[in-house]
Structure formats: C-alpha cells, structure tokens
C-alpha cells in the first residue's frame, strides 16, 4: 500500500469568521431542505407524526482520506460480502465460536439466548426460509504509525441494523453543494469536484431489499407483501430509515410497514402450515399484512429484549417464510469473536477456497492484531512476541490468567477491549483496561477480545456542527461550528442475498464517513459521539 504525502496536520484550510458563517448557514439550510434530519432530543414517544426536526450533526468540510485506501475498501467489499455470507451458512463454525455449548454464548447471556433460540428452531425443523439477506457495513480507519506501513485497517464488520446509509448520501451531496456554491472560497487546492466521490447509497441499499422481496415473491409469496422494518421505540434517526422506505416505494413499488418488538409481540403471527408471516399494522384498516422481508433496525442490544416475550417474538419471526435481514446466524457472524478468529491462519481460505491469493492478501492487510482474553497459546493471541509477558494478575499468580489476558495487561496502553455488542458505547480503552480486567470474572473472558489500536493521522482538525435543540435565538451560525482535532472513520456498504451454500447476488453500494473529536473513544453518531461527514480523496 503506497503512502500519501498529504499533510493531514495542515487540515482544514483557513477560513475567516465571515466565510465560516456563510458555510454554516448554507450547510444547515441544505441539511434541513434535503432531509438530513433527526427528531429533536426529548421528542415524546407517544407523539403524533413528526411536527419538528433538527439537522443531523455534521461536518462543515469533508474529511481527507487517501484515494488508494478508499478505492481498496470499495474493491474488497464484495469479498467481505461473500466471506460473511459463507460464515453465516457454516453452522458448525458458528456453533463452535459463538454457541452456548462451546463458544462465546456460554458466558455472554445475550449471545447465548439468540443461539439457543436458533438451535431450537433448527432442531425442530422450523427454519422454513433458506435465504438470508445481509445489509453490511465494513468500517475502517487509516493506519499511520510513526514507524511502519501506512495502510487501511478494519475496525469492525457490521451485519445488523447498519445505519446512516441514506444520510451519508445526503451529507456527501451537501459538501458538493458547498463546493459548487462557494468553492470553499478557494481555501484549498484539494477541494475540487473530482476529489468528492459520488455516493448513491440509498438506491444501493434499497436494491438489496428489493432483491430479497423479489426472491420471496418468485417462490410463491404475494406480490402485495410488504417489507417489515423492526424499529426501536422513539427512534430519533427515523429519517435515515424513511429515505429507504421512499426509495422502495417509488423505484421498486414495494410498500413497507414499521413496528417495534413490543408491537410485534401481539401483532405478528406465523401460519403453522405455510409459515407465512403476517402483521396487523397499528392504526390501519388492514388487519393482516403479509411480510416478504424482515428488516431489523433494532434487536442488536440486550436491553431491547427486556422479557422472554421479546426473544419469543424474534424466534417467531425467524421461523417464518419471510426473508430475514439479518437472520440470527448472520447476526452472530458479526460478533467480534468471529472477527478475531478470522485473523488466524487458514480461516479466510476455509470460507473462500476459490479466492485468488492476491485478494486474500489484500483482505488480510486490513486486519488489525486481535486476540481473545481467554486464549492461552502463542498462535491464538496474534503478535505475542518471542515469549509470554512476565506480568501477572494482581494476586501475583501468573498461571491464574491465560496469555491473552496477561498480554492485555502488559500492553493496555495500545489496546481496546471489545465485547460482542453493536451500537457504540461498549468498549474499554487504554488506561481503563487494567482496572476493568481486575473486575472481570474469569468465566467472562471468552466474551471479550483485545484489539491493537489503529494509529490514525495526527493533528487533523475539522469543523463540527451540531443542532442540539430548536432554540438558536441567542446563537450565531459561526458559534454553532466548533473546531476540534478529529478522527474520521470510513464505512463501505454492501449487501448479499444467499442461502443453501450459494451467494445468489451481492454488491458494494456506497460509503459513509463518521467524524468524532480525537478525545472521544466511541464513534456512534446516534449515541452522540460523532458527526456525519463525507470523504475528500487525497
């Protein structure tokens, strides 16, 4: 991977207060006019249809990212799509790595509950739909160590409720609009149209959902069946989802229905003979709506299953003829433990035996050093070195902890610990690691992996704009933009439709950039840590 001579520390270009005020005004107006929106904080859960909105948190200028690394991420997305499809279809592998008898599910109750429900359905012959749909996002940072190769490194691969595909297109369009309308006041020679790539994620993601709907109809499903969006109550990021609904209706003539797990407890049913899934939409004259695709924009956190009824509802949907996005095995395939295990010798080749070695090499170059806290062999804990770490547990007994945990204790300053969770706000970083390990019960180590921190470009800054509330009477546009040292994470979207050992179709369909302040460890936009951004190719 070639390095870039772009001076990240010199970004962003200088802007006068007057120029900054013009850009903020144009950016926020464009965001409001084009649906780059959130519901306001504290919007009542039992409110009528939305009557107010704020613009989503956004970056005023696109984030610099090396062109070669961006293009590599796009090129290998199809390989990642196929890889995770194959993992989801390898039941023995998932049973061993993520299951509640041998794998992570033994110590992670949430993972174990999902796996046990899936196994029960398998054992009783109640898996009636062989096809899976995955809408994926592979997240990356640009690794720029002081001494070493500058290259693209994967943060994680997401298989459930991948968000901001639609709003990522809107923010890319916003930055192109600012360039067209102001030329960014000639502040940088890098700010020109050919360095702002097109982003058509809305059409791309909808094409994946549309392909699954078409596959359902082709096997006897009703042409009037609908796609079910399983959503969180009080979802502030509703507009990111709405753009997909509009695209499905206007370009594919596919209707959607939205329901929460709580609503589905009583509104959903599966016919015992045909496995047909129907729902009764809330506040609708339609009593029974046939569902072609179950699209989860929720269901990835334990707190979304507050009682057994919620798990039972998930398993009911899983047993149906509708195509699930994702199925339970595909959700399990997105676990951090799977990502860690893939780094071991021969695992990628196991799932992709026909892939040319050059493509396997490109894929492996994006892997970061990872290991399980429970691992107790040199080969399992990645780049351990020539000898085990000499440090011991607090009680002084080095034999009381496996190599994986001892290595994490020794090298904590360059690590992040990750559980099997999505959605942001779950990781443990650097200086917080020793105390966390002190309190981690030994039986729970298997649920955690250690990952070497990616060394991002230093000194790069950005202008971050958040709405925050609807009261701006005392705030000028320029005061709403805050300059901070930033970290920008690239996500590449893709989808795959697969089943019975075969990948029916797959595609790379767009990208997103999330930018956060350097001092913020987490990266979720919806959780308040990041702003939406786009890419400036350098």
Annotated catalytic residues are 137, 156, 158, 163, 336, 418, 422-423, 514
φ/ψ of residue 47, rounded to 5: -75, 160
Q: Is 156 annotated as a binding residue?
A: yes
User: Kindly report the CA angle at 140 between 136 and 145, in degrees rounded to 5?
Assistant: 165
Beta-bridge partner residues of 218: none
Q: Could you give phi then psi for residue 157, rounded to 5 degrees?
A: -120, 125
Residue 466 annotated as binding site: no
Beta-ladder partners of 277: 270
423 is in an annotated binding site: yes
410 is in an annotated binding site: no
Q: DSSP label at 497?
A: E
- Is there a binding annotation on residue 270? no
Consult the annotation and say whether 422 binds a ligand: yes
The reply, when asked if residue 350 is annotated as ligand binding, is no
* CA distances from residue 425 to 301, 370, 493, 520, 521 in whole angstroms, order as listed: 11, 19, 22, 10, 9
> Does 427 appear as a known binding residue?
yes
Is 297 annotated as contributing to ligand binding? yes
* Residue 170 assigned ligand-binding role: no
241 is in an annotated binding site: yes
> In whole angstroms, what is the distance from residue 69 CA to residue 75 CA?
10
Determine whether the annotation assigns residue 476 to a binding site.
Answer: no
The annotation status of 236 as a binding-site residue, yes or no, is: yes
Strands 151-158 and 535-537, by their bridges, are unpaired
CB 171 within 8 A of CB 36: yes
Distance between CA atoms of residues 22 and 7, nearest Å:
26
454 labelled ligand-binding: yes
Residues paired with 531 in a beta bridge: 515
Residue 25 labelled as part of a binding site: no
Is 258 annotated in a binding site? The answer is no
Do residues 188 and 175 touch, judged by C-beta distance below 8 A? Answer: no
Q: How far apart are CA 83 and CA 345, in angstroms?
A: 15
Q: Report whether 30 contacts 174 (CB < 8 A).
A: yes
Measured from the Cβ of residue 219, the count of other Cβ atoms closer than 10 Å reads: 11
Please indicate if the annotation marks 516 as binding a ligand. yes
128 annotated to bind ligand: no
Closest CA to 336 of 298, 367, 314: 367
Among residues 449, 532, 460, the alpha carbon closest in space to that of 164 is found at 532
Known binding residues for ATP are: 156, 336, 418-427, 429, 451-454, 489, 516, 522
Known binding residues are: 137, 156, 158, 160-163, 235-237, 241, 297-300, 336, 418-427, 429, 451-454, 489, 514, 516, 522, 525-526
Known binding residues for Mg(2+) are: 156, 158, 422
Known binding residues for substrate are: 137, 160-163, 235-237, 241, 297-300, 514, 525-526
């Amino acid at each position: 991977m070639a390095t870039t001579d772009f001076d990240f520390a010199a970004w962003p270009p200088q802007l006068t207060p007057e120029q900054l005020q013009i850009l903020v005004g144009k950016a926020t107006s464009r965001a409001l006019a084009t649906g780059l929106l959130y519901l306001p904080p504290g919007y009542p859960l039992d409110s009528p249809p939305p009557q107010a909105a704020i613009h989503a948190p956004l970056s005023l200028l696109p984030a610099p990212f090396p062109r070669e690394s961006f293009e590599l991420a796009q090129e290998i997305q199809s390989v990642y799509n196929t890889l995770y499809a194959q993992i989801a279809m390898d039941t023995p592998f998932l049973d061993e790595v993520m299951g509640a008898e041998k794998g992570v599910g033994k110590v992670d109750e949430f993972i174990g509950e999902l796996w046990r429900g899936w196994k029960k359905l398998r054992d009783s012959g109640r898996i009636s739909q062989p096809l899976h749909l995955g809408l994926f996002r592979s997240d990356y940072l640009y690794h720029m160590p002081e001494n070493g190769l500058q290259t693209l490194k994967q943060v994680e691969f997401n298989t459930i409720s991948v968000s901001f595909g639609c709003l990522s297109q809107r923010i890319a369009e916003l930055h192109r609009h600012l360039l067209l309308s102001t030329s960014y006041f000639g502040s940088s020679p890098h700010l020109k149209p050919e360095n702002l790539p097109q982003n058509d994620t809305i059409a791309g993601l909808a094409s994946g959902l549309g392909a699954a709907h078409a596959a359902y109809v082709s096997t006897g499903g009703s042409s009037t069946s609908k796609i079910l969006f399983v959503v969180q109550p009080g979802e502030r990021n509703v507009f990111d989802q709405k753009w997909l609904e509009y695209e499905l209706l206007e370009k594919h003539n596919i209707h959607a229905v939205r329901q929460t797990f709580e609503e589905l407890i009583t509104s959903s049913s599966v016919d015992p003979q045909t496995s047909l899934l129907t729902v009764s939409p809330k506040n609708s004259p339609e009593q029974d709506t046939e569902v072609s695709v179950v699209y989860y924009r929720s269901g990835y956190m334990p707190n979304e299953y507050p009682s057994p009824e919620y798990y039972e509802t998930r398993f009911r949907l899983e047993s149906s003829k509708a195509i699930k996005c994702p199925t339970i095995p595909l959700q399990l395939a997105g676990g951090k433990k799977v990502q860690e295990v893939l780094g071991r010798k021969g695992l990628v080749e196991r799932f992709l035996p026909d892939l040319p070695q050059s493509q396997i090499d490109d894929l492996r170059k994006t892997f970061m050093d990872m290991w399980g806290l429970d691992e107790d062999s040199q080969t399992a804990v990645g780049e351990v070195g020539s000898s085990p770490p000499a440090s011991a547990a607090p009680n002084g007994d080095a034999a009381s902890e496996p190599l994986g945990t001892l290595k994490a204790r020794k090298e904590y300053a360059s690590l992040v610990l990750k559980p099997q969770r999505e959605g942001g706000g779950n990781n443990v970083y650097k200086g917080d690691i020793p105390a966390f390990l002190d309190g981690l019960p030994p039986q729970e180590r298997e649920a955690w992996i250690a990952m070497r921190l990616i060394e991002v470009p230093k000194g790069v800054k950005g202008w971050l704009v958040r709405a925050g509330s609807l009261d701006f009477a005392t705030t000028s546009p320029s005061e709403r933009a805050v300059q901070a040292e930033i970290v920008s994470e690239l996500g590449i979207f893709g989808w795959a439709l697969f089943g019975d050992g075969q990948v029916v179709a797959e595609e790379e369909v767009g990208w997103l950039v999330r930018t956060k302040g350097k001092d913020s460890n987490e990266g979720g936009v919806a959780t308040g840590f990041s702003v939406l951004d786009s890419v400036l190719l350098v």
